[in-house]
Amino acid sequence: MRSRLFWRRSAAAAGTYSSAVLGFLGTIVAAHIFSRHTFGLFAIVVAATGFFQILLDLTMEEALIKFGFRYVTREDWGRLRRLFQSAIAVKLAGGVLAAAVLAALAPAAHVLFHKGGLTTPLEIAALLPLVQCTENVGGVAFNLHGRYDIRGLFLCVSMALRLTAIAVAAPHGLTATIAAIVAGQAVATAAVDTAGWFAFRRFPQRAAAPLADDRRAIVSFVGQSTIATAVTSSTIPLATLVLARVASTVQVAWFRAALAPQQAFAVISSPARMILLTEQTRDWERGTRSAVFAGIRRYTLAGTVLVAVVLPPLLVFTPEVVRLLFSSKYTGAVDATRLVIVAGAARLVFGWTKSFPVSIGRPSLRIWTHGLEMLVLVPLAGILGAQWGATGAAGAVLASSVAYCLYWALLYLRIRREPEPAVPPGEPLAA
């Protein structure tokens, strides 16, 4: 049993790290092939697409995991089926809405961002929310079987397709690149959904049953998760769009390059976060809260040790790293990169905060913590970015990350002191 668990965790880490490396290589390839101006436009298109996709989509994945484990624990297969059916319908509706808004936004891109050459790429990118909307629903089926290793594999496949799209299409321009990314994502989503359907079929098949008393709790959970995800995932894209309003396209390109360390730190912790989400949600539903808190302590200690080892040399050799990865035309991003490295290191130590609110059924905690982060980051990105460009925006990233970590430290101490709920495992807990 232990060897099987070790294998799954190792495979999940390998798949997730590989996907991150491939995604990072996609950014590097685009930065090398595109001019700084075109790379800045590429960053704006990616940020705008991500922002509206997140803003207009309902986050069903977290409710699928939380309540999915509840139904698997109870062996309530009829409600599990209804839950997945509802999730697919909601995700499709969100994808259509996001695509429509992006398509309507594209003709006004020049007015919004004061940059030309964005209309056609944005019109094509409008298809991305539609072709990607059900990917995570398929992935949740693997988590409910404890097979996060398979989910990691498909993350790798998705990023490999995106890297291929960029490498093949970037020499032909920005529009061709966006079109290739959309095509690659369509293939990736089809693969995940097909495999996820087979994984779901491994559960005992029963006719869909009404969610009944759980409906209100699920709707509340989805609503809070959606707001939390919108605030969480739109913060950096929104800061990028704000910077695009107040600074040049080259500064946007430098800011995009400087964000690479933050992505790298997030990648380092992502396998652990995927495992924590699956195992801690299961443990919390079974009533073993002590195992959840013990896992957080182990993660925090390991993250602190890792940061203490890698942070000093990274700060010293930042200029060499930037030139090695992005070439000498991005040396203007060195100071911004140093600030983002420190911010990314702090967020790595607190990486458990991504999954913890979902595991304990309180997604509203993410609204407050990431809401604070957004309130600090977005205005500062505009104010400091107008004065110091990419470096100013990176300073805003650092300030918001510190505020986020301090707030979570206080919340965690409060939650640890809360009494054990008088609710049997598997019964609904207040969200």
Q: At what angle do helices 318-326 and 2-33 cross, to 10 degrees?
A: 70
Q: Cα(417)–Cα(128) distance, rounded to whole angstroms? A: 44
Give the pLDDT score at 183: 94
For residue range 238-262, list pLDDT tens digits in order.
899 899 888 888 999 999 889 888 8
Does residue 2 have a pLDDT over 80? no
Does residue 363 have a pLDDT over 80? no
Does residue 6 have a pLDDT over 90? no
Does residue 424 have a pLDDT over 50? no
| Beta carbons of 349 and 307 less than 8 angstroms apart | yes
Q: What is the DSSP letter of 247?
A: S
Q: Name residue, tokens 């994945």.
A: 61
User: Once rounded to an integer, what is the mean pLDDT over residues 154-158?
Assistant: 85
Q: Cα(12)–Cα(201) distance, rounded to whole angstroms? A: 22
For residue range 59-106, list pLDDT tens digits in order.
777 788 888 888 888 888 888 888 888 888 888 888 888 888 888 888
- More reliable by pLDDT, 377 or 367: 377
Lowest mean pLDDT among 19-33, 166-180, 184-198: 19-33
**What token pair was written down for 37?**
């101006």
**What token pair was written down for 151?**
């989910």
Q: Cα(192)–Cα(212) distance, rounded to whole angstroms? A: 30
Q: Cα(99)–Cα(125) distance, rounded to whole angstroms? A: 8
Say which amino acid occupies 218. I
CB-based burial, 64-76: b 16+ in 10 Å, e otherwise:
bbbbbbbbbeeeb
Nearest to 211 by CA among 92, 64, 61: 64
Task: Round the average pLDDT of the chain to a whole number and report it.
Answer: 85
Give the pLDDT score at 175: 93
Q: Cα(172)–Cα(137) distance, rounded to whole angstroms? A: 34
Q: What is the DSSP letter of 187?
A: H
| Beta carbons of 160 and 22 less than 8 angstroms apart | yes
Q: Cα(347)–Cα(407) distance, rounded to whole angstroms? A: 12
For residue range 261-290, list pLDDT tens digits in order.
887 777 677 767 767 777 787 788 777 888
Does residue 149 have a pLDDT over 90? no
Q: Cα(312)–Cα(318) distance, rounded to whole angstroms? A: 10
Exposed/middle/buried for residue 59 (C-beta within 10 Å: 0-12, 13-18, 19+): buried
Give the pLDDT score at 291: 84
Lowest mean pLDDT among 4-18, 158-172, 205-219: 4-18
- More reliable by pLDDT, 5 or 213: 213
Length of the chain: 431
Cβ-based neighbours of 349, under 8 Å, separated by 6 or more = 300, 303, 304, 307, 405
Q: Cα(278)–Cα(69) distance, rounded to whole angstroms? A: 9
Q: Cα(327)–Cα(318) distance, rounded to whole angstroms? A: 13
For residue range 197-211, list pLDDT tens digits in order.
888 888 888 888 888
Q: What is the DSSP letter of 203?
A: S
Q: Name residue, tokens 């360390």.
A: 261
Give the pLDDT score at 429: 37
Lowest mean pLDDT among 149-158, 275-284, 323-332, 364-373: 275-284
